[in-house]
């Protein structure tokens, strides 16, 4: 992203395409990327009769480990099917900078990992990174419908053999063990209580894994979830200004009275926001009707984002002090919000002073 709010698009050449299972392929790029383990790329999918669409795909490679960057795509709808059917070595794809907060803060701590189906993709990136660059140990509970659906079965087996004692993989196959409910996952979650826990996969599996981790005593602040939805807009286009006046926004805010609405009218003094991003803290004027992400981009801060619609977690940040209102949220749950997590692309100020952290 650039400081004027436009998007920095990178065109990547495909080096090879690897069949992982009958329904999943890894697209390997001949490029250098700046990313953290567990992050994703937003890819412009050329498509056919519908035209191009944007989708988010996790990187399954490890940064700094000598791996070429790769995303892994499982057949599941128009865009993913198109990539699996049409992309070949030598093709080029447009991507946005790597985004996402599904990444460990410390590669030297022990982790609990729960993955279901293609949710293994960002988890494998974390596993590879911890083993290559850290000292932490990990237990991975990986659920699939049957043995043929296990993505990266060989890679996981090799890593487990290469790093004995540091990686333990527990496979859960529904054909043998039934659905992985919270009650059935509890015995696996209990020995991992208190660890930083990363969960990615189908919604029912994620709910079960999170419930099992919480029941085992893991604080919700140490449970990290990754959720993707189909993007409806075009994140490759330049930033659009926030719609609606400040008065319109205030009128839609629960708990604000007529006096507050009048105070939010055009001409009201902007709020102030302090932002901790990439180890640097800056302060900015925050107009009452402007979204936080737009304020930061206009100020030249390289704030992460992808969809700009409240449909992904790329722009997630934490409220340290003050209050904000989110215009739309399709990815954060009640626990995230209780922990102060908000989406910068959808946040407007409610108090005069707000402090935000991306750390």
- The CATH number of residue 333's host domain is 3.10.20.30
| Residue 39: domain span | 10-95
- Is the CB of residue 96 less than 8 Å from the CB of residue 238? no
Other beta carbons less than 10 A from residue 158's beta carbon? 11
How many domains is the chain partitioned into structurally? 3
CA distance 266 to 289: 9
CATH number at residue 56: 2.40.30.10
* Overall size of the chain counted in residues: 359
Per residue of the chain (359 residues), what is the pLDDT tens digit?
A: 444 445 578 999 999 999 999 999 999 999 999 999 999 999 999 887 777 888 899 999 999 878 899 999 999 888 999 999 999 999 999 998 898 888 999 999 999 999 999 999 999 999 999 999 999 999 999 999 999 999 999 999 999 999 999 999 999 999 999 999 999 999 999 999 999 999 999 999 999 999 999 999 999 889 998 876 666 667 776 534 344 333 333 333 333 232 333 334 356 799 999 999 988 999 999 999 999 999 999 999 988 887 788 887 778 899 999 999 999 998 888 878 888 999 999 999 999 999 999 87
In a domain, 131, yes or no: yes
> The whole model's pTM is what?
0.78
- Is 208 found in the same domain as 307? no
Tell me the CATH number at 132.
3.40.50.80
CA distance 238 to 236: 7
- The answer to the question of residue 160 being in a domain is yes
């Amino acid at each position: 992203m650039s400081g004027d709010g436009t998007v920095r698009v990178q065109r990547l050449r495909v080096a090879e395409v690897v069949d992982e299972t009958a329904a999943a392929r890894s697209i390997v790029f001949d490029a250098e990327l700046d990313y953290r383990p567990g992050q994703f790329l937003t890819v412009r999918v050329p498509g056919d009769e519908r035209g191009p669409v944007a989708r988010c795909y996790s990187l399954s490679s490890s940064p700094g480990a000598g791996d070429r960057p790769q995303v892994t795509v499982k057949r599941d709808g128009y865009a993913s099917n198109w990539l699996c059917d049409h992309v070949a070595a030598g093709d080029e794809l447009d991507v946005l900078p790597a985004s996402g907060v599904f990444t460990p803060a410390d590669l030297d701590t022990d982790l609990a990992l729960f993955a279901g189906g293609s949710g293994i993709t960002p988890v494998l990136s974390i596993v590879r990174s911890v083993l290559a660059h850290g000292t932490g140990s990990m237990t991975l509970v990986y659920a699939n419908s049957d043995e043929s659906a296990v993505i990266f079965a060989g890679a996981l087996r090799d890593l487990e053999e290469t790093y004995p004692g540091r990686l333990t993989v527990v496979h859960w196959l529904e054909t043998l063990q039934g659905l992985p409910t919270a009650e059935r996952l509890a015995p696996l979650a209990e020995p991992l209580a208190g660890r930083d826990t990363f969960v990615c996969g189908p919604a029912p599996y994620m709910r079960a894994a999170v419930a099992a981790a919480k029941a085992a005593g893991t604080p919700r602040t140490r449970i990290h979830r990754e959720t993707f939805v189909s993007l409806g807009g075009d994140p490759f286009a330049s930033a659009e200004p926030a719609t609606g006046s400040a008065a319109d926004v205030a009128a839609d805010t629960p708990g604000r009275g007529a006096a507050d609405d009048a105070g939010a009218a055009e001409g009201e003094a902007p709020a102030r926001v302090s932002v901790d991003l990439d180890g640097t803290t800056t302060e900015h004027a925050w107009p009452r009707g402007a979204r936080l992400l737009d304020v930061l981009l206009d100020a030249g801060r390289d704030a992460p984002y992808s969809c700009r619609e409240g449909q992904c977690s790329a722009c997630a940040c934490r409220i340290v002090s003050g209050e904000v209102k989110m215009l739309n949220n399709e990815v954060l749950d009640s626990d995230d919000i209780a922990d102060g997590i908000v989406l910068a692309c959808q946040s407007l100020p409610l108090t005069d002073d707000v402090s935000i952290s991306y750390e």
